[in-house]
Structure 1
Amino acid sequence: MRSSSFFQPALIASAILAAISHTAVAKDTDDNIEHLTIFGSAQAVNDVPGSAHMITEEELNKFDFTDIMRTLTSVPGVYVLEEDGYGLRPNIGMRGTGQNRSEKVTIMEDNVLAAPAPYASPSAYYFPTAGRMQQVEVLKGTSSAMYGPRTTGGVINMLSRQIPDDALAGQFNVTTGEDGYAKVHAYAGGSGEQVSSVFEVFRYQADGFKDINNSDRDTGFVKNDILAKVRFNSDKNAAYDQELELKLKYSDEDSDETYMGLTDADFAADPYARYSASQLDNMDTTHKQVQINHLIKINGRFNLMTTAYYNDFSRNWYKTSKVGKMVDEVQEDGSIIPVKKFSSLGSGGTEIASDYDRGAESEIYAQVKANSRDYLSKGLQTVLDIDLDDHQLKFGVRYHEDEMDRFQWVDEYTLDQDYQMTQDDAGVHGADSNRIDSAEALALFVHDEYTLGNFIINAGLRYEDITLERHDWKDDLARTQDPVKHTKNTVDVWLPSLALTYRVNEELVLLGGIQKGFAPPAPGNEEADDEESINYELGLRYNNESLHAEAIAFFSDYDNMHGNCTVSQNCADENVGEQYNAGEVEVKGLEVKAGYEFKLANLLVPVDLTYTFTDTEFLNSFESKLDTWGDVTKGEELPYVPDNQLQFAAGLVGDNWRGDILVRYMDEMRTIAGSGDIPNDEVIKSRTVVDLAAHYNLAENQELTLNIDNLFDKEYATTRTHGSLMAGKPRTMTIGYKYSF
């Protein structure tokens, strides 16, 4: 891991500024927030010509989720694939795109790309800490083309803690619960006439809900997140109104997570067990970010927002990748000698680990891979907003660079009859993988929102010019010579979009649109084509004081869909990093969202319904070494896309208290591409999970909270993508106290 010492003094300095800067009259910050968000305001969501959802701070606080995947189930057309139970490494998809490491979705924080290397290696092993976010926005369809590079599914933008408008404001929140869960969240800051700031600390941890067989090691995590912002405003008599904001962020994570799930038989016996062979598995990460925002209001019609950003992410996931045992091997001379034979987790390794824990093997062996990688992502982007009354124009440009540096090795261990792991061989650092994948990208877009009576026409055009490279040194661990292998891809693409909304009256809006979707190929895949699609949507949106509802039908027509071969997809070592072209694919479906607020005596009863129907089909046959696809026959369905998803939420709100219940249903889904009935060893069964939350105000600025995730303790499997079954989080109760000032 690279040292973070350079970053800590800057955070301390910002904390001091946060304490002293609230010495003058508060200043309105709405204009700055608007440039960090997609929609700007909740009212603006109604006019978006497509699927658009804003999850406000009030809604986020209802269930106090720290797992972004539980938060996003309230948005139709979004699919989540649980893995660790706490949302440390989310798997998010939209409108039929793959969920693996959220690689097909554009993830942003404060309007800046958040993935460690969004072009060169989009799989998000880092994800912004959802529990500290103030707002979450989800945009799918035609308007998402402004937020590339991946435009087929959609975009998620998370708004971090904003500087309070008051001279001094803050909050302290502490939570404790089952399985050693604990959370401390605090922030303080304020706005002065020209200098404003905020400082925030977020820490959460758990011992984990799984137990390693024959071991007392924890299976939990600790994650720290520190944020500091300082904003400088121009003098009120200056010729131009300007804002300059510095954002510094540091986070780290230490989690005892694994890719090793359970066999079907072991899952049925105890879904929360872990094999002894996974006892050393650990993820260690560090993330550092610097972001500088500058806003200048040239006049009443022209605003220019410019952002420079730098993200540095390092991680080492040290985890068992293969398990083996001693077998007799016949030599050429006819003699028989014992040799170690290793198998990957999805090709017999998990079964060997299971046999060992059940006593069928007295000694086995494990290869523990150090998936050590360093990421860099940096760039400069600017957006010019022009208000021409009927035309609202946006011109944007972004220059971006990112890279992933892989320097991996494999250690070998023996597991003896006492279930202890002893290292037999220390791997040479870099011997397993020794390469850099990098990208340079220039993106430009123009977007025009033209109001013509009750019609709003949205026309957009995005251009991406991308250079992708892979430098592979293989056995040259010092990298003193030229790379053994160097591949280079260049991509340039024009992405038009057109959408229309028609306001029938003050409450009802009709909408529709068409766009070209895109995702670049991976570095090192010179034969891989772009992922391109034509996406259509048509629907309506209704809003009045008590009722809000929308229904949108979508259709994504892929000319070519990508499948990326990753360890998380259970790909063999020699295939990791490869990319497969699936060719033509169709994804169609329906998204429904509705909410109503009843009045019952002196109580309010808000209810909310979210529903998604999805139908997928491969339109041609092909071969791949991707575990979830395999060899595909025309007419088969995509894996890990349920036909039906349904969520129902209901609340009861009194003068100083409220209670909410959340019911989530997910249909069964296949884990390998196929058609017809799903075989038992290729299915994730349907499930219904219920969450409960309660809030009680002790005083105007003090609150007690009670949360119960998975109220009825439903046991369910979440995925087979690692060659074995992983379990969802069991019933977990937490209680909290919140003080605001």
Structure 2
Amino acid sequence: MRLSHLTSCIVLSLTGTSFASAAEETTQKIEQIKIIGSKNAVDDIPGSSAFIDNETLDNFAVTDINRVLAKAPGVYFVEEDGYGLRPNIGMRGNSADRSEKITVMEDGVLAAPAPYASPAAYYFPTIGRMSAIEILKGGSSVKYGPRTSGGVINLVSTEVPDAPLGGKVDLALGSDGFAKLHAFAGGKTTDKGYVLEVFNYQADGFKELNSGQDTGFTKTDLMGKFDIYLDAEQRHHLEFKAKYSEETSDETYLGLLDTDYAANPLQRYSASQLDEMNTEHTHFSVHYDYIINDDVDLSVIAYHNDFARNWYKVSKIGGLSLGSGAEEIASQVDAGTYTDAAAPLVDIKANNREYLSQGIQGELAVRSQNHDLRLGLRVHADEMDRFQWVDQYALNDEQFMTLVSAGTPGTDSNRIDSADAISAFVHDTFTYNDLTVKAGIRYEKVDLHRDDWGTTDPARTNTPAQRDNSVSAVLPAIGFTYQTSDALVLLAGIQKAFAPPAPGNQNADKEEGWNYEAGLRYSNDGLKAEAIYYVSDLENLHGNCTASQGCNDELIGNQYNAGKVAIDGVELSVSYAAQVGRFEIPLSINYTVANATFEESFASELDSWGNVNAGDALPYLPESMWQAETGIKGSNWHVLASYQFVDEMRTAAGSGSIPANEKVADRSVVNLSAQYTLDRNQQVYMVVDNITDETYIATRQHGGIQVGKPRSVQIGYRYTF
């Protein structure tokens, strides 16, 4: 990767920063890590947004990001493993596959393993250790890139405790061998502070193998922060952050046939008994803040992310790929009806990859009476190194597997995709009486490169086949809010949408178009309501060829251009808390309806697209979703319940009625949370997911049915100090 220019650049760029004014108490920590900042700040944003605070996360002892996202309208997710280890998140009609169409950040820093060169996010930060989640859609996301077609999620990690010594210990046990340990401790003095954190959770898994092996996971995060003020006036501030994460999960893409799902939805075919994902992730960053004067701030972050993973999983059975007959053979072996004399051969591919993402970014804030001007610049580089192979096993009548031949590393896929990017923005917030205007422009310049050694040069001794793409984009955005009364705010915005192509996109077409939205917010006497109508008019939509999309092995990593796509929808949310005697009755409802269609006919190798006709609906997009949450709260306890409905989805582009083998049926899931505060430091809690034990299909994306998680119980104890 061409990274040398990073060391010679002194730059400013996007941080998503919310700075504390120098006029505020200087011992307050500068807010460098949030893009919204608080629930109240949502009211000033001329677009759809959400701020999910630590109390909300604790109420449901959240370890699955999908549980959280259901609280925000306009956000879609496709479940996969039942625990949210690798979520598939989309916004406003964009594809949810591997969260590749949204910008994901942790503490204002890009979190995807290679956000430009390989956007499919097989790593996602552990949600259980976060203190807040911020979701931003619409024109205000012009400050954040590289992807502006959908939206932004910023995960706020545990902050340094605002006391000489503070922390938390959270322990839980649950169904299917679930166990959790979350602990952090730290403190702050007048000029320095620190926090150290560990988060470990694991489960045996809820799926069943005939061999009796586990189908679960274990994941551990370690994180540390140290910050210090460099001067007595506390205008110069440094923060160092380091994080390490590792995961082992017994996950597979080999799904069930409809008949086997009907007989036992929790079974897993024996052919998947060796499937396992192993990952390691490290992060280092240094953040410098400088309060130049009462009206000018500067913030710079240098960051480095390494991610390595090897997903050892079934790719073929009996020479047939997933979705093309492999499931039938796996089913026959387990049922004892396989008739060939020789045991079927199972190809298990070592999807071995290493990722690197690093850069330096900063933001300058200049404030005046009516303006809040932000200027940013980021220099970034990332890469994905694929070095894969295939081992072959025989699956015998006893449903055990014997190694037949071991592959040579680098003889399956052997290439490096890399990207160098420069981005810059100017953004101003202008206020005049009851009118607030937020306007900005973003520039992205991306150089993409691929070195491919093929399957016959594992030592990489020969000159690789090479491919280069370069794109640039100028992305304006403007939005406004108008306070018509103390209770009512009108809002509207327009934004240029963009996503860079992948190195495997030979046409180098960027994803671009326009996003529009308009709506209102109402707030009075504890009642909050929001209604937003949005339109995304894309001139070109990308489709990335991944294993999760069902692509053939030799096509994985390629990218297709779908041309024009029309997306529109409505996002509604209402919340109110009624006081009934000594009790509080909270109620919140959010509702999303969306329509997304291809406007051009074309052919692709993606299973979820295939041969598309103009007017076909996009796959894996429910027409409607909604969630209602209510309960009762006392002075030191609460019981809360949430009801979530997800409409049916088609698994392949099409129109009219959905064929049975291309349908994910609608589902309703009810979750329950109960919490009791023993004293000012101690709480006990219980969480029940899917309390009605609803059986449902989560996805068909991987060549078969993957089932949703059945009823599960978690009981925990929390101590804070």
TM range (shorter): over 0.9
1:431 matches 2:408: no
Q: Could you say which residue in structure 2 is the equivalent of 1:318?
A: 312
Measured in 2, the distance between the counterparts of 1:487 and 1:82 equals 34
Q: 1:195: Cα distance to partner? A: 1.8
Structure 1 runs (4+) greater than 6 angstroms displaced: none
Task: Give the residue type in structure 1 aligned to 2:239.
Answer: E
Counterparts in 2 of 1:366-405, with a 5 A limit? 366-405=346-385
Three-state SS of the structure 2 residue aligned to 1:588 is: strand
Measured in 2, the distance between the counterparts of 1:83 and 1:714 equals 16
- Whether contact under 8 Å (1:120, 1:403) holds in the other structure is yes
Q: 1:31: Cα distance to partner? A: 4.4
Three-state SS of the structure 2 residue aligned to 1:265 is: helix
Counterparts in 2 of 1:187-586, with a 5 A limit? 187-212=184-209, 214-236=210-232, 238=233, 241-324=235-318, 342-361=319-338, 363-474=343-454, 475-483=456-464, 485-586=465-566
- Whether contact under 8 Å (2:545, 2:606) holds in the other structure is yes
Task: Give the residue type in structure 1 aligned to 2:325.
Answer: G
Alignment partner for residue 648 of structure 1, among 621, 628, 652? 628
Q: 1:714: Cα distance to partner? A: 0.2
Three-state SS of the structure 2 residue aligned to 1:46 is: helix
Alignment partner for residue 71 of structure 1, among 68, 72, 96? 68
Task: Give the residue type in structure 2 aligned to 1:480.
Answer: T
Three-state SS of the structure 1 residue aligned to 2:428 is: strand
TM-score, structure 1 length as denominator? 0.93
Task: Give the residue type in structure 2 aligned to 1:203.
Answer: N
Task: Give the residue type in structure 1 aligned to 2:533.
Answer: A
Task: Give the residue type in structure 1 aligned to 2:461.
Answer: T
- Whether contact under 8 Å (1:435, 1:472) holds in the other structure is yes
Q: 1:419: Cα distance to partner? A: 1.1
- Whether contact under 8 Å (2:469, 2:508) holds in the other structure is no
Q: Could you say which residue in structure 2 is the equivalent of 1:7?
A: none
Three-state SS of the structure 2 residue aligned to 1:693 is: strand
Q: 1:384: Cα distance to partner? A: 0.5
- Whether contact under 8 Å (1:488, 1:524) holds in the other structure is no
Measured in 2, the distance between the counterparts of 1:452 and 1:147 equals 25
1:59 matches 2:56: yes
Change (3 A) 1:505 1:380: same
Task: Give the residue type in structure 2 aligned to 1:629.
Answer: W
- Whether contact under 8 Å (2:192, 2:226) holds in the other structure is yes
| Cα offsets for 1:644-684 (capped at 9, x unmatched) | 10100002110111010000000001111011111111100
Q: Could you say which residue in structure 2 is the equivalent of 1:334?
A: none
Three-state SS of the structure 2 residue aligned to 1:699 is: coil
Measured in 1, the distance between the counterparts of 2:397 and 2:258 equals 24
Three-state SS of the structure 1 residue aligned to 2:613 is: coil
Q: 1:418: Cα distance to partner? A: 1.4
Over the aligned positions, Cα root-mean-square deviation in angstroms equals: 1.0
- Whether contact under 8 Å (1:368, 1:410) holds in the other structure is yes
| Cα offsets for 1:452-501 (capped at 9, x unmatched) | 11111111100001000100012221112221x10000011100001111
Measured in 1, the distance between the counterparts of 2:428 and 2:227 equals 30
Measured in 1, the distance between the counterparts of 2:216 and 2:506 equals 40
Task: Give the residue type in structure 2 aligned to 1:623.
Answer: A
Q: 1:40: Cα distance to partner? A: 2.4
- Whether contact under 8 Å (1:528, 1:580) holds in the other structure is no
- Aligned identity (percent) is 52
- Whether contact under 8 Å (1:561, 1:583) holds in the other structure is yes
Q: Could you say which residue in structure 2 is the equivalent of 1:170?
A: 167
1:674 matches 2:668: no
Measured in 1, the distance between the counterparts of 2:309 and 2:281 equals 9
Measured in 1, the distance between the counterparts of 2:584 and 2:676 equals 15
- Whether contact under 8 Å (2:306, 2:356) holds in the other structure is yes
Measured in 1, the distance between the counterparts of 2:324 and 2:501 equals 28
- Whether contact under 8 Å (1:28, 1:165) holds in the other structure is no
Alignment partner for residue 147 of structure 1, among 124, 144, 149? 144
Three-state SS of the structure 2 residue aligned to 1:145 is: helix
1:107 matches 2:107: no
Size of the alignment, in residue pairs? 693
Measured in 2, the distance between the counterparts of 1:648 and 1:525 equals 42
Measured in 2, the distance between the counterparts of 1:128 and 1:297 equals 30
Q: 1:196: Cα distance to partner? A: 0.6
Measured in 2, the distance between the counterparts of 1:364 and 1:208 equals 27
Alignment partner for residue 129 of structure 1, among 113, 126, 129? 126
Measured in 2, the distance between the counterparts of 1:737 and 1:471 equals 51
Three-state SS of the structure 2 residue aligned to 1:511 is: strand
Task: Give the residue type in structure 1 aligned to 2:238.
Answer: L
- Can you give the 5+ residue segments of structure 2 that lack an aligned partner in the other structure? 1-24
Change (3 A) 1:668 1:233: same
Measured in 2, the distance between the counterparts of 1:507 and 1:29 equals 34
1:588 matches 2:568: yes
- Whether contact under 8 Å (1:495, 1:517) holds in the other structure is yes
Q: 1:28: Cα distance to partner? A: 6.8
Three-state SS of the structure 2 residue aligned to 1:131 is: helix
- Whether contact under 8 Å (2:535, 2:568) holds in the other structure is yes
Measured in 2, the distance between the counterparts of 1:561 and 1:680 equals 27
Task: Give the residue type in structure 1 aligned to 2:131.
Answer: Q
Measured in 2, the distance between the counterparts of 1:662 and 1:184 equals 25
Change (3 A) 1:402 1:372: same
Q: Could you say which residue in structure 2 is the equivalent of 1:335?
A: none
| Cα offsets for 1:682-736 (capped at 9, x unmatched) | 1000000000000001111100000000000000001111111100000001100
Measured in 1, the distance between the counterparts of 2:106 and 2:183 equals 19
1:96 matches 2:77: no
- Whether contact under 8 Å (2:509, 2:561) holds in the other structure is yes
Q: Could you say which residue in structure 1 is the equivalent of 2:6?
A: none
1:621 matches 2:617: no
Task: Give the residue type in structure 2 aligned to 1:235.
Answer: D
Measured in 2, the distance between the counterparts of 1:42 and 1:712 equals 32
Task: Give the residue type in structure 1 aligned to 2:583.
Answer: L
